[in-house]
Amino acid sequence: GEDEFDRFWTRYVTNEFNDRSIFSNSDKLKIMDMAIQSVFLISNMTHFGYLKAYFPLHDEYQLCGWKRDKVLKDDDIETDLCKAMGEDVYQYIKPEVESVIEKWNTSMKTILSPPVDKIRNYFGEKIAYYFDFISLWTKFMSLLILFGIPVTVTLWAQDPDDLASEIFVIAYAIMNVIVATLFVEFLKREEKYRASTWGTSKLADEDFIRPLFRGIFRRSPIDDDLGDPHFTFFMRYWRLMVSALIIWLVTGVSVGITVGLFAVRYELAKEWKGTGDIIWAPIITAIIGAILLFIKDLAVRPIIKWLTKFENLKTEAEYEFSYIMKFFVFRFINTFGPLFYIAFVKKYVTGCITTENNFEAEENNCMWELRYELIILTVFFFLTNFLEILIPYLRSARSLSSKITAKSIKGKSNEEILKTKVYIEYHRQSYDDGEINGVVEEYFEIVMQIGIVF
């Protein structure tokens, strides 16, 4: 009979014909993926070269709002393909305004309040919550900027040692603490709200065994399964120790490079002491340090990925946690180590550089140097984020010529047309590496920003 609770379930619009389902399109893809992965070891097949890639094609209606219409010319490029696949023949007509792209434009309104529910229905909860997190972070940073600009202008216009300037600094510091506290509390509330509305409040990711995990099959002590892969205690911890030793060795080499850079700063400061050029010693070395930070990140990333695979961790959760911890420790030490040294240690080791050309450690603190270090580091992060936006945009513009057009596929068979569509999607830049979700990398950048701001 009819389900008496049917009216309580949310019904998602799945296509332009107003067909509704209790599953969103992203839910359907998850179910299909789990069904396929339960039969085929996709990661293994990809790793050993049996598969080139594994991905779904985009839904033009959900993403772009292109609505299909059954009015189609006989010579249209899609006609033969659709008929060969046993589908109705349609033509895409003008976009509708309720698509993800139309709702998620680049206006200030959507930057502060992105269409999180639409993003979730198309891309899933992890990506949707990331943009929800970003919008909340942007709002609180806008509040800090609103108060920070007049404080900065006042400090530039007046003597920093004046009582009024000191009051402004103390007031802004208190404001910073208040904003940080409110941000954490609002984030907790937003997390609970999204978990409640998305139905994930008591949902935990199932601890899947990694397809690339290698072990000896044994009888499981938990469920008596004869096919339980097991990696011996000795081998597991031996690999973990080797991995930890290598990552700390790499981190030590990186710290040594940073120490050498501070030695160069010290020599430049001694050379230019008593002249106006001394101001360039911290600026030049800070710029070089920011560039080296970028190079070290690029160099260590494949090492960390290789070490994480070398550890042969059993579950996907363990693999992701191990990768995050390695990369976080390395990046945290390399980003905030120099700042900590300048703020608390440098005064007692080599002395501080000031605009008064004073190089005596007992008479000054290193806040002037720290300010330039933070400014250059912030600008560097901004430029890297800008490049992350620009490079995919240029790649997309470059690939426009490879998109399917009536002229480009004229005379091709149905199989060739389908291959063209798949290959265009295949050659797009991947968001993750198959075992690490792409959102993890995005959160690393936010963590660095939070550390600098607060």
Give me the chain's average pLDDT, please.
77
DSSP per-residue string spanning 332-372: HHHHHHHHHIIIIIHHHHT----TT----GGG--SHHHHHH
- Name the percent of the chain lying above pLDDT 90: 17
What's CA 322's distance to the chain center, in Å? 17
For residue 58, how many C-alpha atoms fall within 13 Å in the half-sphere facing its CB? 15
Q: State the pLDDT at residue 49.
A: 80
User: What is the pLDDT averaged over residues 367-383?
Assistant: 87
| Residue position matching structure tokens 């690393």 | 444
User: Quick one: how far is CA 204 from the chain centroid?
Assistant: 21
pTM value is 0.76
* Nearest alpha-carbon partner for 3 in 22, 18, 26: 22
How far is residue 60's CA from residue 440's CA, in Å, rounded to a whole number?
27
- Range from 205-209, 280-284, 338-342 carrying the lowest mean pLDDT: 205-209
164-173, 254-263, 339-348, 437-446: segment of lowest average pLDDT:
437-446
Q: How confident is the model at residue 166 (pLDDT cuts 50, 70, 90)?
A: confident
Average pLDDT over residues 172-185: 91
pLDDT band at 349 (very low <50, low <70, confident <90, very high): confident
pLDDT band at 359 (very low <50, low <70, confident <90, very high): very low
| pLDDT at residue number 121 | 81
CB 123 within 8 A of CB 99: no
pLDDT score, position 213: 78
Looking at residue 358, its pLDDT comes to 43
- 144 and 175 Cβ atoms separated by less than 8 Å: yes
Concatenating the DSSP letter of every residue in 272-336 gives TTTSGGGGHHHHHHHHHHHHHHHHHHHHHHHHHHHHHHHTT-SBHHHHHHHHHHHHHHHHHHHHH
Q: Report whether pLDDT(276) > 90.
A: no
Question: Taking residues 194-204, what's their average pLDDT?
Answer: 79
Pick the residue with more confidence: 427 or 147?
A: 147
CA–CA separation, 329 vs 304, rounded Å? Answer: 11
Lowest mean pLDDT: which of 46-60, 172-186, 313-327?
46-60
Q: Where are the chain's structural domains?
A: 108-203, 236-453
d(CA 283, CA 376): 8
Strand partners, 95: 66
| Length in residues, the chain | 454
What are 286's two structure tokens? 């800070």
Question: pLDDT tens digits, residue range 403-444?
Answer: 554 445 555 555 666 677 777 777 777 776 656 667 777 888
pLDDT for 407: 47
Say yes or no to pLDDT of 83 above 60.
no
pLDDT-based confidence at 95, cuts 50/70/90?
Answer: low
Contacts with 93 (C-beta within 8 Å, 6 or more apart), sequence order: 66, 67, 68, 69
Q: Following DSSP, what letter does each residue of 133-181 receive, concatenated?
A: HHHHHHHHHHHHHHHHHHHHHHHHHS-TTSHHHHHHHHHHHHHHHHHHH
Please list the residues that pair with 419 across neighbouring strands. Answer: none
Q: Residue type for 315, please?
A: T
